[in-house]
Structures are given as structure tokens and as C-alpha cells.
Chains A and B, each alone.
Chain A
């Protein structure tokens, strides 16, 4: 892991990987969503609204995965002070926030025909909304630190503390009464029928590859900005 934290080595790997992840992710997602929209069967109880599953579940998974990535990168930054860890955490924040917002919006669009309401203040929905606010707070904090030149350890601590919300989101439907259904997919198996499960796994894989490509692209942009600023500063001092 230490070997890959070298920015030069990271760029050598990230350059070919970024378009490969984005293009393969877009292709797999397109196939999965066409399947979900046109070919997946309607569900016995939920009817056609179940098709929203193929957007909503990957968005929820990636919203939580984004913050998990921030937390791990923050820990690496605080403990080992790797130069790439802060860049990785910042690179995960925008895509994580977009997918958390997409999860909330697609969930609301699913909730209206399924539950009769766009929103309820129950544990799952509220903790997911808290995650979106955490992302916005993290982005504001990291942006301020970059602008004002503060310590990058401040957003790292925030990223680590915010991770407490991830198990709360996951277990909210088990701990509290909720309109939201309990998890139907876990390490021990799935309660979903095959036509939904395989389509969902394909959509999750496709969106995840896009997410990884976007994180790499944002990390490369952040690194390039840091390197350009350092070079310009050095030139200004020499002049």
C-alpha cells in the first residue's frame, strides 16, 4: 500500500485505468438499466415501481461506500501521513455526495407510489439525509482548508468521526420501525428472485466502476492542481 502512495506511481497506474473504468462502467450500467427498465419482470406486490431498484440500490451503496473510502483514507492520513491519502479522501467526496443525493431522490420517487408519500422521518431516510449533510460539510471544510492553508488533518478527523453514521444507516431498518424494507441482500445470501438479483448486481457493478473512474479522475485533477501551484510558487520565489 505504501508503494502505491507514491504520486508518480499512482499516476502511472491511474492514467490508463481512468478511461478503462469509466467506459466499462458506462457500458455495463447501460445494459443493466435497459434490462431494468424494459425486460425485468414487474414484482408481485410493488408492480412496475420495483424497476427503481436498479438505480436506487447502487446509489445507496455508493453513497455509503464513498464515505467509507473517506474514513479509510482519513485514517491512513492521520496515522501514516501519506501524501495521497488526503487526495483520495477529497476525490471520493463529490461522487459520494452525488450518489447519496441520487439515493434520496430515487427513494422519494419510489416512496410516493409504494408508500403514498415522498418522505417520512424514519431512521433509514433520516440517517441517509444526515450522510448527505456530512458530505456537504466535508466538502466545505476541505475547500476552506485548501483556500486558507489550514491543516488537512481537520477534514480527516471530520471524515473519521462521520463514519459513525455508516453502521447507523445500515442497521436503522433493524433497530427501529421503518416503512423501508430490511436488507434483502447480504453476505449470507439473498431473498431476491433471480431476475432482480442479477440485474441489480450488474447495475451495482456498472455504477461502481463509474464511481471508481470518477474518483481517479478527481484525484488526478487535485494532484495536477497541487503540482501546478507548487511549481508556480517556486518560480515566483526564484524570480
Chain B
């Protein structure tokens, strides 16, 4: 009979992927927004 896989590496990988992707998405979107709004203010000031 085949031995069952240890589930923990799969659970940890799924959580790491979920947390990493979500934090990266939030940080990227926030920084892109700040950059774009700064560019608008600079264009307004010119």
C-alpha cells in the first residue's frame, strides 16, 4: 500500500503563496497609486 503524503509542506506552501501574493499585490498597488498621484501633482505644479 502506498504511504500517504505528509500534508504540511502543501499547507505551508499554500499559505506562503497566499500571504506573499496578497501582500505583494497590496504593496505594489499602493506604491503605484502614490507614484501616479505624485506625478499628477507635479504636472499640476508645472
| A residues with CB within 8 A of B | 18, 22, 26, 29, 33, 36-37, 47-49, 51-52, 55-56, 59, 94-95, 98, 101-102, 105-106, 109-110, 112-113, 207, 210, 213-214, 217-218, 220-222, 224-225, 227-228, 231-232, 235
Contact = CB atoms under 8 A, between A and B. Distances in A.
Contacts of A55: 14-15, 17-18
Contacts of B26: 22, 26, 210, 213-214, 217
A105 B19 CA distance: 13
Contact of B33 (A49, A56, A110, A218): A218
Contacts of B29: 94-95, 214, 217-218, 221
A37 B18 CA distance: 12
A59 B15 contact: no
Contacts, number: 110
A96 to B, nearest CB: 11
Interface residues of B, number: 29
Nearest to B8: A48
B6 to A, nearest CB: 8
A22 B11 CA distance: 25
B23 to A, nearest CB: 8
Given A109-B13, A109-B17, A225 B5 contact: no
A228 B8 CA distance: 49
